[in-house]
Structure formats: structure tokens, C-alpha cells
A and B are shown apart, each in its own frame.
Chain A
């Protein structure tokens, strides 16, 4: 079945450091891939998405490229800020699944220190 595996945290970085959060997936069809961000006490917000192979999603300085050959969708940011501290979830949507189900990774907690 479909699944998402993402890098376990927590991750602690200094401000302006480079960020990579790894995400790999397993899917039977042709999934769309997403990164969501969750700030403390809030719901999940869409950060970026990619709907086909080699697409690059980007938003707020974050980027991720849909790599079909490695079944990966790693999240990167060149210079993190304290305000980026949050939990990040990788997800996929497989149109072949009943009810258009979404599959989420377990989340990676990021703390950025000044």
C-alpha cells in the first residue's frame, strides 16, 4: 500500500543554517506530493506541492523536487529563521486510492535557535 517515510526528528539548527528534511514514498499510482507545516496549537497548512515527476514546489524560501527515480520529495531551505520552528509533514495523494485518501509521514519537529 501507499506510505510516506520521513526523517525523524527533532532537528535543531542555528539561524541561517541549511535545512534538509528527507521524505521518501511508496505509491501504486501517480501521486501528488506535499509538504505541510504545523505551528504549535494550530492545524496543518500547505507549504508546497508537486503534482508530477521533476516538478519543483516552492514557497517562503522552501523547495522540494518530485524525484520519481528515487521516490523522494526532500524539503530544503537555504537559510532558516527562528520563525520556521514548527513540525513539517510530508504527504502524498494517490488518485487511485478510494476517497482520494492522503498519506502523511510522522512529522519532523524543527527548532531554530538564534
Chain B
């Protein structure tokens, strides 16, 4: 069966510090991968999606970036965090066929102070 894991689960970072959130998927190959952000009490905002290695699309201009160094690994990064980057970050995956479902990781709480 397929599983998705992301880490760390929680982190508190000062303004201006770097960020790295990691996500891995097991039990499938060539998944579509996604990073979402969920601000407190709000809906989901798609940040990045990837349909393959080195194929990453950005949905929202910001100081975040994403990389996919391996087929089932997706990394969200920032060189300098802003207070507005605080939120709940969710990694997700899906397969590219009709009627596919998107599956989410456990989420990572980021607080920028």
C-alpha cells in the first residue's frame, strides 16, 4: 500500500531563517506531488505541484521554492522566512489517471517568530 510522510511535524523558526520541509511517498512510482498551505481557519492554497523530476510548477509567487530530487521526494524550502509564512503545510500525492484521488501527509506546523 502507498504511504506518504512529511517532516518535521512542528517547527518554530525566527524571521529570516531558512526552511526545509521534506515529503516522501512509498509504494508507488511517478506520482504527482503537491505542496499546500493552510493558514489558520482558512482553506487550502496550492503552492507547488510536480508531475515529474525537475518538473515543478509554482502557483503563487512568494519566497518559497520546491524541488524534486528523486521521483518520490518533494522538498519545500525558503532562504529567508517571513512572518506571513506561518501556517500548516501539507504535502500530497496522486496518480495521473481518471478519477484519481489525492492523498495527504500528516502536515507540518510552521510558526515564524
Contact = CB atoms under 8 A, between A and B. Distances in A.
Contacts of B34: 102
A95 B98 contact: yes
Q: Is the interface of B mostly helix, strand, loop or mixed?
A: strand
Contact of A102 (B50, B102, B107, B109): B102
B43 A104 contact: yes
B103 A46 contact: yes
A44 B57 contact: no
Interface string B70-100: 0000000000000000000010101010111
Query: Which 4 pairs across A and B sit closest by C-beta, in order of nearness?
Result: A106-B43, A51-B99, A43-B104, A44-B104
Interface of B: 32, 34, 42-44, 46, 49-51, 57, 90, 92, 94, 96, 98-107, 109
Given A32-B100, A44-B92, A100-B100, 9 more contacts: A32-B98, A34-B101, A43-B90, A44-B104, A89-B44, A93-B101, A100-B32, A101-B49, A102-B102
